Amino acid sequence: MEQLIETLRTQRDLSDEELTALITRESDDKDLFAAADAVRREHYGTDVFLRGLIEFTNVCQNDCYYCGIRKSNAQAQRYRLTQEQILHSCENGYRMGFRTFVLQGGEDPRNTDAWVCSMVDKIKTAHPDCAVTLSIGEQSRASYQAYFEAGADRYLLRHETASDAHYRRLHPKEMSLANRKRCLFDLKEIGYQVGAGFMVGSPWQTPKELVADLRFLQELQPDMIGIGPFIPHHETPFADKQPGTLELTLRMLSILRLLFPYVLLPATTALGTISPIGRELGLKAGANVMMPNLTPTDARKHYDLYDNKICMDEEAAKCRLCQEGRVRSVGYQIVSDRGDVRR
Ligand code: 5AD
Ligand code: FES
Which of 53, 72, 199, 205 is the best mutation target for the ligand 1 pocket, counting ligand atoms within 8 Å of the beta carbon and taking the most? 199
Per-residue pLDDT tens digits for 306-316: 999 999 988 99
Atom 1 of ligand 2, residue of closest alpha carbon: 319
ipTM: 0.95
- Taking only the tens place, the pLDDT of each residue in 276-306 is 999 999 999 999 999 999 999 999 999 999 9
Nearest ligand, measured from the Cα of 272:
2
Average pLDDT over residues 146-165: 98
300, 323, 328, 329, best to mutate for ligand 2 pocket (most atoms within 8 Å of CB): 323
Residue 2 has pLDDT above 90, yes or no: no
Instruction: Give the pLDDT mean for 52-72.
Output: 98
Percent of the chain at pLDDT exceeding 90: 98
What's the pLDDT tens digit per position in 44-60?
Answer: 999 999 999 999 999 99
Whether the pLDDT of residue 1 is over 80: the answer is no
Task: Give the mean model confidence (pLDDT) for residues 18-36.
Answer: 96
pLDDT digits (tens, 9 = 90+) for 118-135: 999 999 999 999 999 999
Pocket test for ligand 1, best of 55, 63, 275, 306 (most atoms within 8 A of CB): 306
Exposed/middle/buried for 125, CB within 10 Å: 0-12, 13-18, 19+? Answer: exposed
Q: Where are the alpha helices (DSSP H) in the chain?
A: 2-11, 16-23, 30-44, 83-95, 113-126, 141-150, 164-170, 177-190, 207-220, 246-259, 269-274, 278-284, 297-300, 316-329
Ligand nearest to the CA of 267: 2
pLDDT band at 264 (very low <50, low <70, confident <90, very high): very high
pLDDT of residue 269: 97
CA 37 – ligand 1 centroid, Å: 26
Residue 308 CA: distances (Å) to CA of 31, 166, 215, 275, 277: 31, 26, 32, 11, 15
pLDDT in tens, 173-215: 999 999 999 999 999 999 999 999 999 999 999 999 999 999 9
Q: Which ligand is nearest to the CA of 310?
A: 2
Q: How far apart are CA 295 and CA 53, in angstroms?
A: 7
- Please give the radius of gyration of the chain, using alpha carbons only, rounded to the nearest integer: 19
Judge if the beta carbon of residue 322 lies within 6 A of ligand 2: yes
52-57 vs 289-290, strand pairing mode: unpaired
Average pLDDT in the 58-72 region? Answer: 98
State residue 57 phi and psi, 5-degree precision.
-160, 140
pLDDT in tens, 88-124: 999 999 999 999 999 999 999 999 999 999 999 999 9
Whether 315 is in the pocket of ligand 2, judged by its Cβ within 6 Å, is no
With a cut of 80, say whether residue 275 has pLDDT above it. Answer: yes
Measured from the CB, is residue 230 less than 6 Å from ligand 1? yes
233 ligand 1 Cβ < 6 A: yes
Nearest ligand 2 atom, CA 272: 3
Residue nearest to ligand 2 atom 3, measured at CA? 319
Ligand 1 atom index nearest CA of 232: 10
The domains found in the chain, sorted by start residue, are 2-335 (3.20.20.70)
pLDDT at 137: 98
Residue 303's nearest CA partner among 311, 88, 91 is: 311
Determine if ligand 1 sits within 6 Å of the CB of residue 303. no
- Which ligand is closest to the CA of 291, given by its number? 2
Phi, psi of 43 (to 5 degrees): -95, -35
Percent of the chain with pLDDT over 70: 100
The per-residue pLDDT for 27 is 87
How many angstroms does the Cα of residue 269 sit away from the middle of ligand 2? 9
Q: What is the mean pLDDT of residues 256-278?
A: 98
Choosing from 273, 297, 310 the residue with most ligand 2 atoms within 8 A of its CB, the one to mutate for a pocket test is 310
Predicted pLDDT at 343? 87
